Structure 1
Amino acid sequence: MTMGIDPKDLSEEDLLRELRHMHETRTETLMHGSDDALANHTTRTGELEQEYLRRHPERDVDPERLREGARQR
């Protein structure tokens, strides 16, 4: 069940704003939201993240965030 505007219909600016908001509210939803609120939050975050990845398949991946980078630390 999609809540809100289909991520494909969001401008780049709106998509990024929505993603930031979802990540800012995650802990509060996890700790204090109802089961339905948490499920909806998880679903919506996934939808937004998938759209971001679709738009940015060649995103800049930090080498420190890869296994090889972790091993070097």
Structure 2
Amino acid sequence: MAQHEGGPSARDLEDGRLLKELEAIHRTRHETLLHGSDEALVTHTQRMNELEHEYVRRHPGRAQTAARTRSGARARTGED
């Protein structure tokens, strides 16, 4: 299993662990943004991107809520 500064490579994580890592990083995002050093924020962003890209790679057909798409959000507010 490949290991780097932010933890095991996202590609090496089994699905359950990948989801746990995503939950944890999203939970800590706001605190890192407000109070982390510039270096901590960069590292956090890189790890978050790695985990999110891996999730999307594994689940390209994941269910999407219409309101969470650009056209669905615009329809809800009446914007074009």
TM-score normalized with structure 1 length: 0.91
**Equivalent in the alignment of 1:20:** 23
In structure 2, stretches of 5+ residues that fail to align are none
Counterpart amino acid of residue 32 in structure 1: H
Q: Which structure has more strand as a fraction of its residues?
A: 2
Q: In the TM superposition, what whole-angstrom CA distance separates every residue of 1:12-66 from its partner, at most 9, and x where no partner exists? A: 0100000010000001000111111110000000000000011000010111112
Q: Given the two structures, how large is their TM-score scaled by the length of structure 2?
A: 0.84
Gaps of 5+ in 1: none
Alignment length (residue pairs): 73
Q: Percent identity?
A: 52
Give RMSD over aligned pairs: 1.3
Ranges of 4+ aligned residues in structure 1 off by more than 4 Å:
none
Q: Which structure carries more relative contact order (alpha carbon 8 Å, separation 6+)?
A: 1
